[in-house]
Structure 1
Amino acid sequence: MAEQLGIVDYLFLYCMICIWVMLFVNIVLTVGGYVYYLKTLKMNLDDPIEHYPSVSILIPAHNEEKVIEQTVTALIALDYPQDKLEIIVINDNSSDKTGEILAKVQRKHPGFNLTVITTDKVTGGKGKSNALNIGIQSSKGELIAVYDADNTPERTALKYLVHTLARDASLGAVIGKFRTRNKNKNLLTKFINIETLGFQWMVQAGRWQMFNLCTIPGTNFIVRRSIIDEMGGWDTKAIAEDTEISFRIYRLGYRIRYMPLSVTWEQEPESIPVWIRQRSRWVKGNVYVLVKNFKLLFSRDSKHIRFDLLYFSSVYFLFLSSAILSDAIFILGICNLIEYKVAGNTALLWVMAYLVFVLEMAIALSMEKGESNPRNILLVGLMYFTYCQLWLLVALKGVWQYARDSILGLEVKWYKTERF
């Protein structure tokens, strides 16, 4: 008589199904990203457009004395008609020398349309969404661009975004690519560099190629001002304001396109504690967006965002829980503390999952000049057992923080990633 399956066997089956479904989806998206990459090789975005719309660049800045001058200087140097460009920095309740540095930049560029809005602890310090809402009230541009305070965009970054948007009326926003400026600082920043490239080519480019879907990142994007006005600005309760606004843009019937030829360089966390605080905040913010929009999964009017709802819900709930459970089962099984009957060749399943992960990331790296090298491939192999496992704990922390703050009704506060 066949042995009866126990609870550990069912948990193992749940883990394997969730993990392998996500691996399959990601490998399909990676292939889609590669197809889109081949298309970008044939693109020419340098041809001028008939009408250059006015653009307002918003930069939320809270205690950014280490990076703000370099960022604003790079934005002033953008290859875009100066009479069509304004830069608005929201100096949001800063207690360092951010304001003094911005005043110095204004004196160095007296002819440039650079505005600094300074808030205090009453009007500001309530998060990025609040700062953006303050900034847009003083803006005049037909298009709104957003850059984080640690960004150094390439000179063509904004022009390529505008050219892409201007040539397609169905687009509500266009996002560019962000690269890791300090990728060679230490092992952590090297991992982050690989992760960001994988995410952008695998998830952003793949989703655009296959579903005409993208999610706005926090920086290097433009959106039509009319859309922001129609939506009533950014959701001040959302700390993942980029994901939240993406869903609302799709619900209005617009598309968001990924344009990897538009590149900005940003500083990433250089220490584990800073990285944990940043990423757990991202998870917490994304869970808020998913919970806010989850009912739309069953709405006929939300077909444009159904895949994203399913994908990100699977990442933060099904995949997260299955990955943590599978790690626990694997460790307990090795220690002979538990037994499960359905596993078969357990080691083979984990080895295959590992090889698929390495393959996905290797394909993504091959789409970025100078990144597909033996050192990075070795780092990908190491990431699976270190960085990725740490991400599971960070994601779990973010989910718990969301649940805690929702129950206690805690107000959203600005957490600024520490600069180096």
Structure 2
Amino acid sequence: MANFFLYLALFLLWFMLFYHIFLMLGGYLEFLKHDEDVKNFSESEGELPTVSILIPSHNEQLVIENTLQAMINLNYPKDKLEIIPINDNSSDQTGFIVDEYAKRYPFIKPIHTKPPTGGKGKSGALNQGLKHSTGEVIVVYDADNTPEPEAIFNLVIGLNNDKKAAAVVGKFRVLNAKENLLTRFINIETLTFQWLAQAGRWHWFKMTTIPGTNFAIRRSVIEELGGWDEQAISEDTELSFRVYNAGYHIRFFPAAITWEQEPETLSVWWKQRMRWAQGNQYVIFKFLFQFRKLNNKVRLDLFYFLFTYLFFFGGILISHLIFILNLIFDLELLIGNVSIVLLVTGFLLFLVEVWLALSLEKGQLNLINALVVVLMYFVYSQMWVVLVLSASFREAKRVLFNQEVKWYKTERFDSQPMKQTIVKGKTKSTSER
């Protein structure tokens, strides 16, 4: 019996490894043609539509000013742009800050939500923002994001040049990547996800997943779909599935770049990733029970998420368990030394995949990051195994006991040296204090 489960675990792990190699090859091929796509799209930009940028904000006083300043610096016609910070039942100075910016910049149009409609999470805030928006294109940014000046323009020309695309997804980079070992792990994870899972899937299958930030969606589509699912704590993944099932596709266009702050402590990382994992499991089972009504693209993406969160992590847990039990008891495993060869080969494949992803970003494949990747395999990847197991337990408990979904807002860190602060209508930088 132990041999059967070990072979099953190895099959699951190696299937995923080979699939990731396939995706990484697609990501690399997509990278090679990216500059040509940007050039072609820029030359045929078309008429620029009106754009509404929704920024859901709950207790974001540490970061919201930098985000609003980045919005002001966007290279997009201001007469076609409205910035809508959604002060979602904040108890800090978020509301005051966005109101002060609105006094100086007429295209910033904040809204303030209170219970019972406000304070329930990101999806609810976005739905409130959608009701107050007027743009032909809806763009979403988290409150800790500082998009580059050309970000909105690039999202828009992606839509203008791809009439079948309901949405265009940009690239996000880690603002505080060098803060500590955890943020270095997250930076590497982020770059790998974008060039492997996003660019790779786009290249081979014309599929990608809407992230929580830095994406544009046509107003007609989001209204057709009825807005965001307020029961989903991974509202981005859930929306992606509905977009595909409606017959549209989502384009990955990494010319649109934003910078975002990532968790700097393990406790904040755990809570944020727990929300992601539990939220994605909600999405998996929501659509799994609708399997017969789904189109082939959604089924393919559902299989990817199901394999990632159930079979792949299940294979890791089985292999770990057999390894530990074999240290205590003689399980009479038949695979012998071959298992060592497979483990070493799998480890080397992991390194190659991640190093290749880092090589696609200028300055990221350096000695420090190369060594961090080695450590990442033994530390960060194992943290994810424990987290997914915990998230599975929590989601099962929530379903069995019909518990209400609770939204966790990621804690921010005041680590930006030139943060702007409004005091009585005036702006001061930290250098002036």
- Given that 2:46 and 2:157 are in contact with CA atoms closer than 8 Å, whether structure 1 keeps it comes out as no
Task: Provide the residue aligned with 2:76 in structure 1.
Answer: 80
Counterpart residue type for residue 333 of structure 2: K
> Which deviations, in whole Å up to 9, do the C-alpha atoms of 1:242-286 show, x marking residues without a partner?
000001111111110101111100000001111011001101110
Partner residue in 2 for 1:168: 162
CA distance in 2, matches of 1:121, 1:8: 54
Partner of 1:391: 384
1:104 and 2:104 are equivalent in the alignment: no
Shift of 1:390: 0.4
Query: 1: distance between equivalents of 2:4 and 2:291?
Result: 27
Which AA in structure 1 matches 2:111? I
Q: Deviations over 1:12-57 (max 9, x none)?
A: 1111010000001000000000000001132314436231100110
- Quote the Cα distance in structure 1 between the aligned partners of 2:332 and 2:3: 5
Q: Quote how far apart the aligned CAs of 1:413 are.
A: 2.5
Corresponding residue of 2:216: 222
**Which amino acid is the alignment partner of residue 274 of structure 1?**
V
Q: Give the corresponding residue for 1:360.
A: 353
Instruction: Give deviations 1:123-176, integer Å, cap 9, x for gaps.
Output: 211111111011100000001000000000000111001001111111000000
Distance 1:340 1:360 in 2: 33
Equivalent in 135, 144, 147 of residue 141 of structure 2: 147
Does residue 1:261 correspond to 2:250, yes or no?
A: no
CA contact (8 A) 2:44 2:161 kept: no
Partner residue in 1 for 2:111: 117
C-alpha distance in 1 between matches for 2:72 and 2:389: 40
Identical pairs, percent: 49
Please give the alpha-carbon distance, in whole angstroms, between the structure 2 residues aligned to 1:253 and 1:47: 28
Query: Residue 175 of structure 1 aligns to a residue in which SS?
Result: strand
Contact 1:152–1:264 (8 Å) recurs in 2: yes
Alignment-mate amino acid for residue 291 of structure 1 = F
Cα distance in structure 2, aligned partners of 1:417 and 1:340: 47
Confirm or deny: 8 A CA contact 2:177 2:186 kept in the other structure.
yes
| Alignment-mate amino acid for residue 391 of structure 1 | W
Residue of structure 1 equivalent to 2:313? 320
SS at match of 1:262: strand
Structure 1 residue 388 displacement after superposition: 0.3
Unaligned runs of 5+ in 1: 1-6
- Long gaps (5+) in structure 2: 414-433
1:337–1:58: structure 2 CA closer, same or farther, 3 Å change rule?
Answer: same
- Given candidates 273, 278, 289, the residue that maps to 2:283 is 289
8 Å Cα contact 2:82/2:135 also seen in 1: yes
- Of residues 368, 372, 377 in structure 1, which corresponds to 2:370? 377
Contact 1:127/1:412, CA 8 A, preserved across alignment: no
* Cα distance in 2, alignment partners of residues 378 and 41 from structure 1: 30
> 1:298 offset after TM fit, Å?
4.6
CA distance in 2, matches of 1:49, 1:175: 17
The Cα of 1:307 is off from its aligned counterpart by 1.7
User: 2:171 and 2:356 mapped to 1: Cα distance?
Assistant: 17
Instruction: Give structure 1 regions of 4+ aligned residues with deviation exceeding 3 angstroms.
Output: 45-48, 295-299
Q: Which amino acid aligns with 1:160?
A: N
1:3 is matched with which residue? Answer: none
Q: Matches of 2:330 and 2:122 in 1, distance apart? A: 47
The one-character-per-residue Cα deviations of 1:312-337 (angstroms, maximum 9, x if unpaired) are: 1001100111112212222333x343
Give the counterpart letter for 1:16 in structure 2.
L
Which of 329, 335, 339 is equivalent to 2:331? 339
Counterpart among 36, 43, 49 of residue 45 in structure 2: 49
Q: Which moved more, 1:144-153 or 1:43-52?
A: 43-52
Residue number among 108, 131, 134 corresponding to 1:137 in the alignment: 131
CA contact (8 A) 2:275 2:407 kept: no
Code of the aligned partner of 1:52 = L
So what's the TM-score if we normalise by structure 2? 0.92
Amino acid at match of 1:324: L
Distance 1:222 1:390 in 2: 32
Please give the TM-score of this superposition, normalised by the length of structure 1. Answer: 0.95
3-state SS of 1:304 partner: helix
Q: Deviations over 1:341-361 (max 9, x none)?
A: 232322111111111111110
How is 1:202-281 mapped onto 2 (pairs within 5 angstroms)?
202-281=196-275
Cα–Cα, structure 1 residues 311 and 337, in superposed 2: closer, same or farther, change >3 Å? same
Q: Please give the secondary structure, in 1, of the residue aligned with 2:135.
A: coil
The amino acid of 2:331's aligned partner reads E
Matched, 1:415 2:411: no
Distance 1:130 1:257 in 2: 25
Matches of 1:230 and 1:332 in 2, distance apart? 53
Q: What is the rounded CA distance, in whole Å, between the counterparts of 2:318 and 2:153 in structure 1? A: 47
Letter in 1 for 2:121: G
State the shift of 1:412 in Å: 2.3
- What is aligned with 2:417? none
